[in-house]
């Protein structure tokens, strides 16, 4: 049977480094997905961005789960789990409702000086 304990120990030992990569990666890729939808890019680009963002979110879930497994329940673990969940939901909803988002952005009034 495959022993996952060394992988879990690695995740916990390098927690700061893993989180310092995954948190910005989640935020940037989620923002990128939203930007691609807002600028009406191709569906292929949007799906690639969503896929990469989803991989980062699931990786964050797995990393936080290693702490839950050993019983470390802190506000930080809940915040990180919530961040991954939020990014995943935003990515999924952005792709599902991309037409509505584009329409909403097109209807925003543009204010000009002196106008």
Residue 40 DSSP one-character state: T
> What pLDDT shows up at residue 3?
86
Which of 49, 38, 54 lies closest to 98 in space, CA to CA?
38
pLDDT at 25: 97
Q: How do residues 83-107 score in pLDDT, each as one tens digit? A: 999 999 999 999 899 999 888 888 8
Could you tell me the residue ranges of all domains in the chain?
A: 16-106
Per-residue pLDDT reduced to its tens digit, 10-58: 999 999 999 999 999 999 999 999 999 999 999 999 999 999 999 999 9
The full 3-state SS of 85-107, as one line of letters, equals HHHHHHHHHHHHCHHHHHHHHHH
What gap in Å lies between CA 56 and CA 111, rounded to an integer? 37
Work out the burial of residue 110: count CB atoms within 10 Å of its CB; fewer than 13 is exposed, 13-18 middle, 19 or more buried: exposed
What's the confidence (pLDDT) of residue 108?
Answer: 78
Instruction: Say yes or no to pLDDT of 115 above 60.
Output: no
């Amino acid at each position: 049977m495959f022993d996952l304990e060394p992988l879990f120990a690695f995740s916990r030992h390098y927690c700061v480094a893993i989180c310092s990569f995954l948190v910005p990666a989640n935020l940037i890729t989620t923002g990128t997905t939203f930007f691609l939808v807002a600028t009406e890019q191709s569906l292929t680009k949007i799906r690639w961005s969503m896929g990469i963002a989803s991989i980062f979110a699931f990786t964050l879930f797995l990393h936080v789960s290693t702490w839950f497994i050993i019983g470390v329940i802190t506000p930080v673990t809940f915040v990180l789990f919530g961040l991954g969940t939020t990014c995943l939901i935003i990515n999924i909803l952005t792709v599902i409702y991309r037409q509505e988002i584009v329409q909403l952005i097109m209807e925003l009034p543009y204010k000009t000086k002196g106008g």
